[in-house]
């Protein structure tokens, strides 16, 4: 088993130095989170993960839960994990103190989530979902519901879920058919089937609080007729007793990865006795759900680079211990073998991983900080950060998920044949991370969201804000001559991005939305690569400043030099991919639109 899965030094550098997360403590709401508090919480999360998460990673994968006699029995580590999570305050970390939360800034909580996801990504899902569901109740539900559900959710006794997908609708939420019939007093009777419900049923919690999208009888078709309901597995009676609420597990999915986390097929109201409690107003459910969805999307991106982090350190450890072959300029078989870390191709695979892991996390932290600003600012400033968050959310969900797969695959490759074997954790990370481009809206959905909604919203206002942010960091980088080459590349790529965007918007303005969005996926890859290049320039600028002013030594010196080196690597090996993407995006040849005279694929 590999021993290291995350670099605390990198997390602290990214939060405290690159993104100045402690600035949040200047706001009353976040006042407790100065740099010392941030560092302390990071250290504590690592200790927590070493105790409750990392040791069970392999065993959870090997002992998958089954649905037997209507009960899903999860791994024995889940119950103590949830109790400890609650005790550490992690489940309610982001919530206001008045509801038992810690008012933690997201810029910090993503670092804690990164550590925990790197330690055991599947196990993290339980509390992550509960936190998201609880926050949704806190934002939109009646006070009565908050009091009824939140304390036990934050206490790790009740699981929260998000319940959207139906067998016949998949990603097309406008086609969901689960129905809700009003029975008075804000109560509804629900009937329908839902699939792919993570944590949807299991035996280590007392109750499951589902947040369910459904249609009130007679609601408009499409997404405008969707409402949101709280649907507990057990109704809580006046006296505190539990009554089964007719939510039945119809099946458990057996999956490629994240095997320890049960994904359920659920039946609501099979015996016409399933009560749901409306959240907010009827027919506005989808907009509420999007708070949770957007939060979840950032956490998916976070999870992607966290798994890639664990894979990176496992492969780095192997590369630093495994002798094999000789350096190519000195192939004398009488000499001892060299460590494989010294082979350029292995070093390339390691640097690629590092660039994705740390570049991806820096982008997550950037978004988290925007998120925090939306909570403490008002007016135009608040709108600015909301728009920045809007445009980056699909990107921060997608880049670490898609490139995280590439990263983990390179980690596996570093181990050679051993990477394919279960003696090392790489194959497990490789299986787990494959869900990330599917979770919470596939890459295709995210890409259409980015190009079709976010880029064009408010006459491109979000893009303008984003470019302003990038340009601010470019200006800072210009202080250091060693960075000028990369400043120039990034400036040039931003121009190409603008040209590509204008070209595509031209198609949209002619009304052909299908053509406009047909290569949205490539646009996303382009956009994501530039976004991460920006983060690397930003990190290198900070590292350069520290090198010049703080005279770091030893391992610290290596750390900062490696930051600049990895930035160079990303610009040399990853940024050039935008050339091919831009060529295709500027090309008018139509090849993927279905035609009357169909050409078989």
| Least CB distance to its own copies at residue 569 (A) | 5
Beta strand 158-163 with 247-252 is unpaired
SS (H, E, C) 13-48: HHHHHHCCHHHHHHCHHHCCCCHHHHHHHHHHHHHH
Count of C-beta atoms within a 10 Å radius of residue 259: 21
| Least CB distance to its own copies at residue 598 (A) | 8
Q: Which two tokens stand for residue 523?
A: 């646009």
Cβ distance to its own copies smaller for residue 444 or 460: 444
| Least CB distance to its own copies at residue 450 (A) | 13
440 carries an active-site annotation: yes
| Least CB distance to its own copies at residue 153 (A) | 25
208 neighbors 133 (Cβ within 8 angstroms) = no
| Least CB distance to its own copies at residue 397 (A) | 15
91 neighbors 130 (Cβ within 8 angstroms) = yes
CA 194 – CA 189 distance, rounded (Å): 15
**313, 382, 397, 405 from 529: Cα distances, Å:** 23, 27, 13, 15
What spatial distance separates the first Cα and last Cα of the chain, rounded to whole Å? 44
Cβ distance to its own copies smaller for residue 89 or 416: 416
| Least CB distance to its own copies at residue 407 (A) | 13
Cβ distance to its own copies smaller for residue 372 or 574: 574
Count of C-beta atoms within a 10 Å radius of residue 302: 32
The single residue listed with the structure tokens 């049960």 is: 262
Cβ distance to its own copies smaller for residue 218 or 580: 580
Cβ distance to its own copies smaller for residue 231 or 263: 263
Cβ distance to its own copies smaller for residue 223 or 291: 223
298 neighbors 368 (Cβ within 8 angstroms) = yes
CA 528 – CA 85 distance, rounded (Å): 33
Beta strand 207-216 with 158-163 is parallel
Cβ distance to its own copies smaller for residue 323 or 506: 323
Q: Which two tokens stand for residue 229?
A: 């309901």
Q: Which residue in the list 440, 475, 482, 514 is annotated as catalytic?
A: 440
Q: Which residues contact 481 (CB under 8 A, 6 or more apart)?
A: none
Three-class SS state of 309: helix
Residues paired with residue 163 on neighbouring β-strands, in sequence order: 212
Q: Which two tokens stand for residue 29?
A: 């709401």
Count of C-beta atoms within a 10 Å radius of residue 310: 29
Q: Which residues contact 99 (CB under 8 A, 6 or more apart)?
A: 92, 138, 146, 150, 154
Q: Which residues contact 182 (CB under 8 A, 6 or more apart)?
A: 188, 216, 217
| Least CB distance to its own copies at residue 328 (A) | 4
Cβ distance to its own copies smaller for residue 116 or 405: 405
| Least CB distance to its own copies at residue 334 (A) | 6
CA 471 – CA 490 distance, rounded (Å): 10
Closest residue by Cα to residue 124 from 194, 66, 198: 198
Cβ distance to its own copies smaller for residue 366 or 402: 402
Three-class SS state of 475: helix
Q: Which residues contact 168 (CB under 8 A, 6 or more apart)?
A: 175, 177
Using CA atoms of 116, 7, 389, 525 in order, give the dihedral in degrees to the nearest 10: -110
**22, 325, 539, 560 from 544: Cα distances, Å:** 21, 36, 9, 7
Count of C-beta atoms within a 10 Å radius of residue 343: 18
Cβ distance to its own copies smaller for residue 48 or 569: 569
CA 436 – CA 433 distance, rounded (Å): 6
| Least CB distance to its own copies at residue 247 (A) | 20
Count of C-beta atoms within a 10 Å radius of residue 448: 22
| Least CB distance to its own copies at residue 581 (A) | 7
| Least CB distance to its own copies at residue 58 (A) | 12
320 neighbors 341 (Cβ within 8 angstroms) = yes
Cβ distance to its own copies smaller for residue 181 or 584: 584
Q: Annotated catalytic sites, by residue? A: 440
């Amino acid at each position: 088993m590999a021993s290291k899965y995350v670099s605390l030094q990198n997390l602290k550098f990214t939060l405290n130095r690159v993104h100045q997360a402690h600035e949040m403590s200047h706001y009353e709401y976040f006042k407790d989170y100065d740099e010392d508090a941030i560092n302390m919480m990071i250290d504590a999360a690592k200790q927590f993960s070493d105790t409750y998460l990392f040791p069970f990673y392999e065993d959870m994968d090997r002992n998958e839960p089954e649905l037997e006699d209507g009960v899903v029995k999860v791994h024995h580590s889940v119950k103590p994990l949830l109790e400890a999570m609650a005790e550490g305050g992690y489940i309610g970390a982001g919530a206001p103190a008045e509801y038992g939360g810690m008012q933690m800034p997201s810029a910090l909580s993503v670092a804690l989530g990164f550590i925990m996801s790197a330690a055991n990504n599947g196990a993290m899902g339980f509390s992550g979902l509960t936190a998201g569901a609880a926050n949704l109740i806190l934002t939109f539900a009646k006070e009565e519901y908050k009091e009824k559900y939140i304390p036990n959710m934050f206490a790790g006794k009740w699981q929260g879920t998000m319940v959207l997908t139906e067998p016949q609708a998949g990603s097309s939420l406008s086609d969901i058919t689960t129905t809700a019939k009003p029975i008075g007093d804000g109560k509804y009777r629900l009937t329908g089937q839902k699939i792919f419900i993570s944590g949807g049923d299991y035996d280590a919690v007392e109750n499951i609080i589902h947040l369910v999208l459904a249609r009130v009888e007679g609601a408009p078709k499409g997404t405008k007729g969707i409402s949101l309901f709280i649907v507990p597995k057990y109704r809580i009676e006046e006296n505190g007793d539990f009554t089964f609420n007719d939510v039945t597990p119809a099946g458990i999915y057996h999956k490629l990865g994240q095997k320890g986390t049960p994904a359920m097929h659920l039946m609501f109201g099979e015996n016409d006795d399933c009560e749901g409690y409306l959240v907010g107003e009827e027919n506005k459910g989808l907009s509420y759900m999007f708070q949770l969805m957007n939060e979840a999307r950032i956490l998916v991106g976070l999870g992607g680079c966290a798994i890639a982090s664990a894979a990176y350190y496992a492969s780095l450890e192997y590369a630093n211990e495994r002798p094999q072959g000789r350096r190519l300029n000195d192939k004398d078989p009488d000499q001892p073998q060299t460590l494989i870390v010294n082979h350029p191709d292995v070093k390339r695979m390691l640097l690629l991983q590092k660039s994705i892991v740390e570049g991806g996390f820096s982008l997550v932290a950037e978004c988290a900080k925007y998120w925090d600003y939306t909570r403490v600012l008002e007016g135009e400033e608040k709108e600015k950060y909301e728009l920045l968050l809007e445009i980056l959310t699909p990107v921060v969900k997608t880049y670490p998920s898609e490139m995280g797969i590439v990263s983990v695959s390179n980690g596996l490759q570093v181990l050679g044949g051993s990477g394919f074997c279960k003696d090392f954790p790489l194959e497990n990370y490789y299986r787990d991370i494959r869900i990330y481009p599917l979770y919470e809206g596939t890459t295709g959905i995210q890409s259409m969201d980015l190009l079709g909604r976010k880029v064009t919203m408010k006459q491109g206002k979000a893009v303008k804000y984003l470019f302003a942010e990038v340009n601010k960091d470019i200006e800072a980088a210009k202080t250091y001559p060693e960075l000028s080459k990369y400043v120039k590349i990034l400036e040039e790529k931003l121009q190409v991005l603008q040209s590509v965007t204008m070209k595509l918007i031209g198609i949209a303005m002619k009304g052909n939305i299908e053509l406009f969005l047909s290569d949205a996926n490539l646009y996303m890859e382009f956009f994501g690569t530039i976004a991460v290049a920006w983060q690397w320039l930003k990190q290198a600028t900070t590292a350069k400043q520290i090198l010049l002013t703080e005279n770091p030594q030893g391992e610290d010196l290596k750390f900062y030099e490696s930051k600049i080196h990895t930035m160079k690597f990303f610009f040399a090996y990853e940024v050039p991919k935008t050339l091919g993407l831009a060529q295709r995006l500027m090309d008018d040849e139509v090849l993927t639109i279905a035609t009357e005279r169909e050409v078989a694929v």
